[in-house]
Structure 1
């Protein structure tokens, strides 16, 4: 995680959560039923997903702290049903649910000791991860779905101190791909620095893509191909 400490990542989660709850607290009742940027999902679906994701990560944090297995979700079907059911509730209930779930995540995270963060748990995908990855996972979820709420918050709102963590998480599904030709991605950060990666995701050889961090995040998360990205840009499926 670029040397970022768990405490620093949790501080970033707290900051991002404050932005999220501030946006949702301004929603009128009818705002929850408006379309989000995710096909087939209203804003209520996104808000409920963020609440249930927080609870899923609480399960993993509890697993790390106690050593007793707590799966993130009982099943994918249960997860999807919870989101669909939750999105049908009154907006005020969805808002209170989100705030409570975010609070539960932060409370449980503060209960973990140094050794707990090294414990291995199981990601919902089935892959093993160390618990220290969980705060970064939550940070990515909060910022990505804040954008999906279509409430005038884009990836350009991600603070400089959060960008490396969010970029690293967005890149994760693409780092070990071998199904394409090499593509060099160069991202410009707001402080004037750059980061670059070699990704085997190009349909043709000799590709290079470059642009600002916000545009790169939009593309890497499958949310479109911004005009300020330069180069032959492959299609990437949505995730997160």
Structure 2
């Protein structure tokens, strides 16, 4: 069943329409940043080891297309893998990063546009369809907008161009935190840890997690600091206690 009734589907209490609106906002920030790149900026190092900013920009474009494949799968019921293979994915990113900056910029804008167009084609029942993410894990299609939002903001930070997690709008933070916490909330073993996050509106959220490494039993701090740590982008001093290295996310 297809259509445009995205607002009826929810993920973690947030409507799909609201999450897609957040994706549009984040994408506007992303394309605005990349629009300001000089040609030499594309070849400068990103915060990801071994990747230039061009690698990150190209990855964000190909990720959008990969998620279009999953949206198409959900809408049609015909399997469309996110990527043909990991080797193809990596080769596409390496090749794309070698292009002229303007071509990379136009590619990113076009891919982001394709994602939004395909997302608006799904109806309520389509969002409940099960597909497989790039790791082969079954997920509900309703998770795809949140997946894209997380990719955009996390790799915006990786571009190392004036945008950090402290730039994330308050309305996006819950979605990003829920996504970043997935590996630790789904663990069935490990060391228990309670994470308490302070949001910009003065409210707090807490989670009981399990992590691979032994550490202090409680960590607290701002949402931006928590996202930096949870995504493996650093261990901010503003978070309480010595923090284990969680490894990079995405």
Distance 2:94 2:213 in 1: 36
CA apart distance, 1:177: 1.9
Report the TM-score, using the length of structure 1 for normalisation: 0.98
Distance 1:40 1:190 in 2: 34
Gap regions ≥5 residues in structure 2: 1-10
Match of 1:5 among 12, 15, 18: 15
1:13-162 mapped onto 2 (5 Å cutoff): 13-162=23-172
Gap regions ≥5 residues in structure 1: none
Work out whether residues 216 and 243 of structure 2, in 8 Å CA contact, stay in contact via their aligned partners in 1: no
Runs of 4+ residues deviating >4 angstroms: none
CA RMSD of aligned residues (A): 1.0
1:191-210 mapped onto 2 (5 Å cutoff): 191-201=201-211, 203-204=213-214, 207-210=217-220
SS at structure 2 position matched to 1:71 = coil
CA apart distance, 1:231: 1.5
CA apart distance, 1:204: 3.3
Report the TM-score, using the length of structure 2 for normalisation: 0.94
Distance 1:126 1:92 in 2: 33
Distance 2:79 2:191 in 1: 40
Distance 1:203 1:64 in 2: 37
Work out whether residues 183 and 202 of structure 1, in 8 Å CA contact, stay in contact via their aligned partners in 2: no
SS at structure 2 position matched to 1:198 = strand
